[in-house]
A and B are shown apart, each in its own frame.
Chain A
């Protein structure tokens, strides 16, 4: 029962924030310099008086802002974001078309991250001060500080241009080819995430390894395997889960830069192209989608926390 109330409260908060964000996103059109009608038409060259009148009517531009927002919101809830100014196609279709690439990139890099970062962090945390630990720390620092597009350029030069192991640009056709094309981008995107997660895992592990309950387990001759699983991992996972929100934000940002670097036809490049062309409806849709993804993810994290930490479950408060 407690968990249902908890989820309900977080859900309400999430919806509230989404509404505020949606309003701000809606206001982007007003924010852009120039007459909204002209912007929606694609520039002064297309702004014949009839076209302008049509646009004004279609988008209710003569009504108060709140009313405009209301119309827009209604459309959004039906997944209707209007039409892209560049392609004149429904925004939803553009997004739908590009989504799979971005999703594939995200999942691919996530897998690489988890497989590498967590064991590295665990090992470094338990063996503080050794060469492995120092390497992991140094690597994390570089991986986190280095800009994603710089990493992309380095990797492209070494692996694609010089060694020719991977293709430089594009997303490929067909599943195997796609995986092949996405490998270098996924690795690029993963580097920063690995840095964050490894560092946090290491810190959490170090903290847990010195806790009394781990010592007490060793004193009772509990086998190392159980200490790792039931004690260290279980307890260290909590702080690591906390920063996964940060990792997601990093990944989304990085995806935009990676897609641009590798010329992948995903949502990231769509965003950049739309911004450059002032294609407001598309910008609005992608921004709102991003907010939705992040907030949903945060909700899932909160629930996971709730499930993993008995102190929260039994109502003692976090």
Chain B
């Protein structure tokens, strides 16, 4: 049976004034009818560009070469543009951010009607018949309330918006659906529903699905075949099971190792050192060579091509035959023992903490009476999704928000209301608690050099230091977080996301706090970098600093914390030892949460054991 989509030697270049800069090279793959294929890669891999090429959305300065054949029709023109004749009809694209995909001044139903009419599927339908069709389409994506059709986008939740967008894309009855990170912007619990929905619709319609994601576990759980992209090219194409158990490329192996497991504790957290190189710099060699542990002469001699290395498995690693066995070993196999921490004195205790926004009938309780205790040197996880109150909790502890009620006690100091503290007390409180925020791009002042930021933080612990002492301390801090001393003179804009996050940790450590509050510190980073930062935080914890670690990612919480607290709509619904809570959740919500993240082996934990 001929495949539905056949891509051969696709290359995308940026052409500007005769200057050619390659962005994607040598991408070849096929998608069969009704097949689910996952395209996995991190930022800079070129996966989004490839998706855009398929639906003819490349910006005018980009040129496509090679071949894209859809159902027998060649789409790439001789002028470097991709034909748009199948876009919106046979090939549909579901984009990443449900909150910005729909026109804010039009209702949900309007979008569906629009697509129906445009694709001629809805030609001839008017009035009641059209309305009935809209309701039917909404039902197909799991929306049972017809009134949703009259809602504007700002009135709907992320999950609902994604369903509406999906209904729009399906309105033209496409044969191939390209879904670009469809669940990244959604809560974990919604994620599984949407993926299940996609799978169901696919089966019912016999539709092919190209799922683009950075999350390997999602790809394993949903796809039959996985394509791995790195630095603008495909490095592996294999059945999902084989990528998982017998990866054919060192990068695939690295990615597998870097994902923090959510079903067991890992002794070591392995990221992939280094950074993704620009495509133009690695045209004559293997793009992964600079970061690969198996690198040899052959790797840098010439550009490797994707070839068959095993039945149904393609790899771009020239050394595959030699290192095949080693690739199977993951660095983190087996059960590992968590280090036992002896009980210590309570350092921070929070009781009945509440924060209410608004007044009168328009009140909203971000926190509704939270009690928790953090012991000295402990790593406590706070797990919750959006709206759980986790960020509000962090802000209250840090004194950035004043709680409406309740009490926060820090090492004997009552910090329930920072604004009422005396100068000396506030300074003392701030030396006990420090923070690392989620967004590495705006948590550092873009106008200050790294050295200045660190020196400023230092001056709060030790006000009078000589220039030499400051330089020494700054150097020591940078070393502590694994950055070269030369970075002190750089501005944040010259650093990568992972590097900036390290600086943020260094800045927090400069004050030598007893508690480090981390609010989703790795959520904005690539998987291969995440592991490095998590390892750093683990290290900081092992050296005596307590962590209040806030996250939605169960894998991350498993690896870094020994005790965990689950927040749901401003209340703690469950707490206990991390392993116990994640292995045998008791509360309904925790169960749903655990069930919504696929395990490392690609299976889902059943909902409601």
A complexed with B = yes
Which residues of chain B have C-beta atoms less than 8 A from A212's C-beta? 95, 97, 100-101
CA distance A235 to B100 in the complex (A): 13
Q: Which of B97, B105, B155 contacts A309 (CB 8 A)?
A: B105
**A310 adjacent to B55 (CB under 8 Å):** no
A230: interface (CB < 8 Å): yes
Contact A216 B105 (CB under 8 A): no
Given contacts A212-B95, A215-B57, contact A234 B100 (CB under 8 A): no
Query: Which residues of A sit under 8 angstroms from B589, Cβ to Cβ?
Result: none
How far apart are the CA atoms of A279 and B102 in the complex, in Å? 58
Q: Are A230 and B100 in contact (CB under 8 A)?
A: no
B88, B105, B119: residue with the most chain A Cβ atoms closer than 10 Å: B105
Supposing A212-B97, A310-B154 touch, asked if A220 and B104 sit within 8 A by C-beta, the answer is no
CB-defined contacts of A308 to chain B, threshold 8 Å: 105
Given contacts A221-B119, A310-B105, contact A216 B95 (CB under 8 A): yes
Taking a contact as CB atoms closer than 8 A, the residue among B88, B92, B97, B152 that contacts A310 in the complex is B152
Q: In the complex, how many angstroms separate the beta carbon of A1 from the nearest chain B beta carbon?
A: 16
On chain A, the residues within 8 Å of B118 by CB distance are 220-223
Instruction: Check A218 for interface membership: any CB of B closer than 8 A.
Output: yes
What's the nearest-Cβ distance from chain A to residue B83, in Å? Answer: 12
Q: Does B63 contact A (CB under 8 A)?
A: no
Contacts of B89 in A (CB 8 A): 221
Minimum distance in angstroms from B107 CB to a CB of chain A: 8
A311-B152, A314-B152 known; A216+B102 contact, CB < 8 A:
yes
A311–B87 alpha-carbon span in the complex (Å): 31
User: What is the bound-complex CA distance between A218 and B118, given in angstroms?
Assistant: 11
Distance in Å: Cβ of A309 to nearest Cβ of chain B: 7
B87 and A219 within 8 A (CB): yes
A294 to chain B, nearest CB (A): 28
Chain A residues near B95 (CB-CB < 8 A): 212, 215-216, 219
CA distance A87 to B114 in the complex (A): 65
Contacts known (A216-B95, A216-B101); A221 close to B87, Cβ less than 8 A: yes
A316 interface hit (Cβ, 8 Å): yes
Given known contacts A220-B88, A311-B154, A213 and B169 CB-to-CB distance under 8 angstroms: no
Contact A220 B155 (CB under 8 A): no
Contact flags A140-153 to B (C-beta < 8 A → 1, else 0)? 00000000000000
Minimum CB–CB distance from A152 to chain B (whole Å) comes to: 40
Contact A219:B93 (CB < 8 A) given known A314-B152, A314-B155? yes
Task: Give the shortest distance, in Å, between A206 (CB) and chain B (any CB).
Answer: 14
A220 and B106 in contact (CB under 8 A), knowing A212-B100, A213-B100?
A: no
Contact A220 B169 (CB under 8 A): yes
The residue in A211, A216, A222 that gathers the most chain B C-beta atoms within 10 A of its C-beta is A216
Answer whether residue B208 sits at the interface, using C-beta atoms and an 8 A cutoff: no
Task: Report chain A residues within 8 Å CB of B97.
Answer: 212
Q: Is the CB of B155 within 8 A of A219?
A: no
Cβ of B186 to closest chain A Cβ, rounded Å:
15
Residues of chain B within 8 A (CB-CB) of A220 are: 88, 92, 114-115, 118-119, 168-169, 171-172
Give chain B residues whose Cβ lies under 8 Å from the Cβ of A222: 88, 114-115, 118
Complex CA–CA separation, A221 to B116 (angstroms)? 11
Asked if A217 is at the interface of the complex by the 8 Å CB criterion, the answer is yes
Nearest A residue to B151 by beta-carbon distance? A314
Q: Interface centre among A212, A217, A219, by most B CB within 10 Å?
A: A219
Q: Is A231 among interface residues, defined by CB-CB distance under 8 A? A: yes
| B24 interface hit (Cβ, 8 Å) | no
B interface secondary structure, majority = loop
Report the Cα distance A311→B55, complex, angstroms: 32
Give the interface residue-count category, chain B: 20 to 34
Is B336 positioned at the interface, with any CB of A under 8 Å from its CB? no
Q: Does B165 lie at the interface of the complex (its beta carbon under 8 Å from any beta carbon of A)?
A: yes
Q: Does B103 contact A (CB under 8 A)?
A: yes
A310 touches B104 (CB 8 A): yes
What distance in Å separates the Cβ of A72 from its nearest Cβ neighbour in chain B? 42
Given A221-B172, A311-B152, also A235-B104 (CB < 8 A):
yes
A226 interface residue per 8 A CB criterion:
yes
- CA of A13 to CA of B576, assembled, Å: 56
Q: In chain B between 456 and 500, which residues have their CB closer than 8 angstroms to a CB of chain A?
A: none
Q: B-facing mask of A88-118, CB < 8 A → 1, else 0?
A: 0000000000000000000000000000000
The distance from the CB of A317 to the nearest CB of chain B, in whole angstroms, is 10
Task: Please name all residues of chain B whose beta carbon is closer than 8 Å to the beta carbon of A213 when the two chains form the complex.
Answer: 100-104
A311 contacts across to B, CB distance below 8 A: 104, 152, 154
Q: Does the CB pair B87–A235 fall under 8 Å?
A: no
Docked pose: A310 CA to B88 CA in angstroms: 27
Q: Which residues of B contact A316 (CB under 8 A)?
A: 154
For window 298-318 of A, CB contacts with B under 8 Å fall at: 308-311, 314, 316
A 196-227 contacts with B by CB, 8 A: 211-213, 215-223, 226
Which residues of the other chain, A, contact B57 by a CB distance below 8 angstroms?
A: 215, 218-219
**Shortest Cβ gap from B49 to chain A (Å):** 14
CA distance A169 to B538 in the complex (A): 82
Contacts of A314 in B (CB 8 A): 152, 154-155
The complex places the Cα of A142 from the Cα of B118 at a distance, in Å, of 43
Q: CA A183 – CA B440 in complex, angstroms?
A: 57
Q: Are B103 and A231 in contact (CB under 8 A)?
A: yes
| A230 cross-chain contacts in B, Cβ below 8 A | 103, 106
B172 close to A234 (CB less than 8 A): no
CB closest residue in chain B, given A315: B362
Tell me the smallest distance from the CB of A219 to a CB of chain B, in Å: 5
Instruction: Report whether B152 and A219 are in contact in the complex, using a CB–CB cutoff of 8 Å.
Output: no
Question: In the complex, what's the smallest C-beta–C-beta distance from B319 to chain A, in angstroms?
Answer: 40
- For A221, what are the chain B residues with a Cβ–Cβ distance below 8 Å? 84, 87-89, 118-119, 172
User: In the complex, A123→B371 CA distance in Å?
Assistant: 58
A223 to B168, CA, bound (A): 15
Q: Chain B's nearest CB lies how many Å from the CB of A190?
A: 29
Chain B 87-140 interface residues, beta-carbon cutoff 8 Å to A: 87-89, 92-93, 95, 97, 100-106, 114-115, 118-119
Report the nearest A residue to B105, measured CB to CB.
A234
User: Closest CB of chain A to B547's CB: distance in Å?
Assistant: 36
Distance between Cα atoms of A234 and B103 in the complex (Å): 10
Name which residue of chain A comes closest to B85, CB basis. Answer: A221
Fill in one digit per residue for A40-62: 1 if any B CB lies within 8 Å of its CB, else 0: 00000000000000000000000
A-contact bits for B339-360, CB 8 A (1 contact / 0 none): 0000000000000000000000
Closest to A235 in B: B105
A59 to chain B, nearest CB (A): 50
Contact of B165 among A211, A216, A223, A310 (CB under 8 A): A216
Instruction: Provide the A221-263 mask, 1 if CB < 8 A to any CB of B, else 0.
Output: 1110010001100110000000000000000000000000000
Which residues from chain B contact A226 at a C-beta distance below 8 Å? 114
Residue of B nearest to A310 (CB): B152
**8 Å CB contacts to A: which residues of B150-174?**
152, 154-155, 165, 168-169, 171-172
B415 to chain A, nearest CB (A): 32
Cα A314 to Cα B92 in complex, Å, equals 32
In the complex, A219→B97 CA distance in Å?
15
- Interface centre among B88, B89, B172, by most A CB within 10 Å? B88
Alpha-carbon gap, A277 to B57, bound state (A): 66
Q: Which residue of A lies closest to B89 (CB)?
A: A221
Closest 6 CB pairs of A and B: A221-B88, A212-B100, A219-B93, A220-B88, A216-B101, A310-B152
Q: What would be 11 A-B contacts, judged by CB atoms less than 8 Å apart? A: A212-B95, A216-B168, A217-B103, A218-B57, A218-B88, A220-B88, A220-B115, A221-B88, A221-B172, A231-B103, A314-B155
15 further interface pairs, Cβ-Cβ under 8 Å (given A219-B95, A222-B88, A314-B155): A212-B95, A213-B101, A213-B102, A216-B95, A218-B87, A219-B88, A220-B88, A220-B171, A221-B84, A221-B87, A221-B88, A221-B89, A309-B105, A314-B154, A316-B154
